[in-house]
């Protein structure tokens, strides 16, 4: 893979994660779109490492090693947060309701980037087995699972996300878990 970032992948990836489809098959995977620039390849590997850490519930690595201390997180449907502590709180809150929550990232369905930005698109799944509080209302678990499409758009500086946009279809998720209309 000529032209790809020469930094050893172990330095960019999440420790202990299995080799990714990207490192095995390259970024193109038969799409005909070619390989990304070295900078974009690096950011895409950093994003994968962040999601690997999230899936492993290693919030110290996920947040402290892949997010800037003053990260602005825009998780659609939730209030914007600034800083790691509120981002950790919201992450742990959501995972408490869906303990098996998983970002399907090996490989992502689509990933690309330009300059300081990366975009990762794929599936998000989980089972509603913990309580969820929305708008002051406690929603008891239904035991039902969901799978929906998500997108994470990240702005990076010095290998840390300074801004993160997480988009997924909350209505689709709620319908699948049997909550609401």
Q: In this structure, what CATH number is given to the domain that contains residue 116?
A: 3.10.450.50
Q: Does any domain span residue 19?
A: no
Q: Does any domain span residue 55?
A: yes
**In Å, what is the CA distance from 172 to each residue of 13, 63, 105, 150, 178?**
31, 27, 20, 11, 10
Q: Does any domain span residue 29?
A: no
Residue 35's pLDDT band (boundaries 50, 70, 90)?
A: confident
Q: Does any domain span residue 17?
A: no
Q: Does any domain span residue 21?
A: no
The whole-angstrom separation of Cα 72 and Cα 47 is 16
Q: Does any domain span residue 61?
A: yes
Give how many domains the chain has, as a whole number.
1
The pLDDT of residue 121 is 95
Q: Does any domain span residue 14?
A: no
The closest of 76, 77, 71 to 50, measured between CA atoms, is: 71
CA 59 to chain centre: 12
Percent of the chain at pLDDT exceeding 90: 66
Q: Does any domain span residue 107?
A: yes
The whole-angstrom separation of Cα 71 and Cα 156 is 10
pLDDT, tens only, 68-98: 999 999 998 889 999 999 999 999 999 999 9
The closest of 132, 168, 166, 176 to 51, measured between CA atoms, is: 166
**pLDDT for 144 beyond 60:** yes
Residues of the domain holding 51: 35-176
Percent of the chain at pLDDT exceeding 70: 82
Do the beta carbons of residue 171 and residue 79 sit within 8 Å?
no
Q: Which of 18-32, 133-147, 167-181 has the lowest mean pLDDT?
A: 18-32
Residue 133's pLDDT band (boundaries 50, 70, 90)?
A: confident
Entry pTM:
0.80
């Amino acid at each position: 893979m000529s032209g790809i970032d020469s930094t050893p992948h172990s330095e960019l990836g999440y420790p202990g994660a299995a080799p990714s489809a990207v490192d095995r098959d390259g970024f193109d995977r038969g799409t005909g779109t070619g390989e990304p620039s070295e900078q974009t390849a690096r950011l895409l590997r950093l994003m994968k490492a962040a999601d690997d850490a999230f899936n492993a519930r290693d919030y110290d690595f996920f947040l402290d090693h892949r997010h800037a201390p003053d990260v602005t997180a825009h998780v659609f449907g939730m209030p914007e947060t600034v800083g790691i502590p509120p981002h950790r709180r919201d992450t742990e809150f959501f995972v408490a309701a869906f303990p098996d929550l998983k970002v399907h990232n090996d490989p992502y369905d689509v990933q690309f980037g330009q300059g300081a930005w990366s975009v990762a698109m794929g599936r998000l799944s989980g089972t509603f087995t913990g309580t969820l509080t929305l708008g002051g209302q406690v929603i008891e678990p239904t035991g039902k699972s969901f799978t929906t499409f998500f997108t994470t758009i990240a702005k990076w500086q010095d290998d840390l996300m300074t801004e993160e946009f997480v988009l997924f279809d909350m209505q689709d998720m709620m319908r699948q878990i049997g909550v609401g209309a």
